[in-house]
């Protein structure tokens, strides 16, 4: 049979185009096949004080996000009793390389101890700056001061989270315990830590902010 070089080259180019199109189509799918690794970095409110591991905030948040189609893994890096300064001290080993994002939930213990808001502010901002220097985006889950600490303390403490979020262009969820604080049925007998149902309320309310954070991560 007589060879037809031109026809053969056309077939080769056509095959190459098909392979290239398939590679382009499959590339993003492969790139997204690894779950986004999000660290919930906080105190007992993240750790799940008094609750089974699968009822703690990170586990419940992961299930809620997966139910909405997000391929994520939420790592529990909460330590009961941690102040913002204690969190800063353990930051580097609590947030490993390869982490895609961090939800910082600290400050409640500073407030409960009446710690100078300036101390908590410095520590939380240092956490944000250190993570940013590592190329790890941050979302802030804020806290409000208890009214019994006085107007001046409350004013200074309550400005910590919005100020830092604005300065560093962070997604902010203003009050982690929104919808739960003061609700007896949603808190353990100590009145400070949410029940499993309380955690579900927290997750349902914080979910839109977390999804906004995930969108930022995916668009980087």
- The catalytic site residues sit at 44, 190, 193
Report the DSSP beta bridge partners of residue 75.
Answer: 39
How many degrees, rounded to 5, is the angle at CA 108 between CA 103 and CA 112? 175
The count of other CB atoms within 10 Å of the CB of residue 216 is 15
> Strand, coil or helix: what is 36?
strand
207 alpha-carbon distance from chain centroid: 10
* Cα distance between residue 169 and residue 91, in whole Å: 21
Identify the helix (H) or strand (E) that includes residue 17.
Answer: helix 5-31
* Cα distance between residue 146 and residue 112, in whole Å: 8
Alpha helices in 137-195 (DSSP H): 151-158, 160-168
């Amino acid at each position: 049979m007589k060879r037809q070089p031109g026809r053969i080259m056309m077939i080769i180019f056509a095959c190459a185009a098909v392979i290239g199109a398939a590679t382009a189509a499959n590339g993003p799918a492969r790139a997204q096949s690894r779950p986004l690794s999000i660290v919930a970095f906080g105190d007992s409110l993240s750790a799940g004080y008094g609750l089974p591991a699968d009822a703690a905030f990170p586990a419940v948040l992961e299930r809620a996000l997966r139910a909405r189609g997000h391929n994520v893994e939420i790592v529990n890096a909460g330590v009961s009793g941690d102040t913002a300064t204690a969190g800063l001290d353990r930051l580097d080993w609590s947030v490993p390389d390869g982490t895609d994002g961090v939800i910082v939930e600290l400050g409640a213990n500073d407030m409960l101890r009446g710690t100078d808001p300036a101390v908590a502010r410095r520590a939380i901002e240092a956490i944000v700056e250190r993570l940013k220097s590592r190329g790890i985006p941050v979302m802030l889950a804020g806290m409000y001061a208890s009214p019994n600490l006085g107007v001046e303390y409350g004013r200074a403490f309550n400005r910590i989270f919005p100020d830092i979020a604005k300065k560093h262009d962070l997604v902010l969820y203003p009050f982690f315990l929104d919808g739960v604080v003061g609700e007896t049925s949603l808190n353990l007998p100590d009145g400070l830590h949410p029940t499993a149902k309380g955690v579900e309320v927290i997750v349902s309310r914080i979910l839109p902010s977390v999804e906004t954070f995930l969108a930022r991560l995916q668009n980087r």
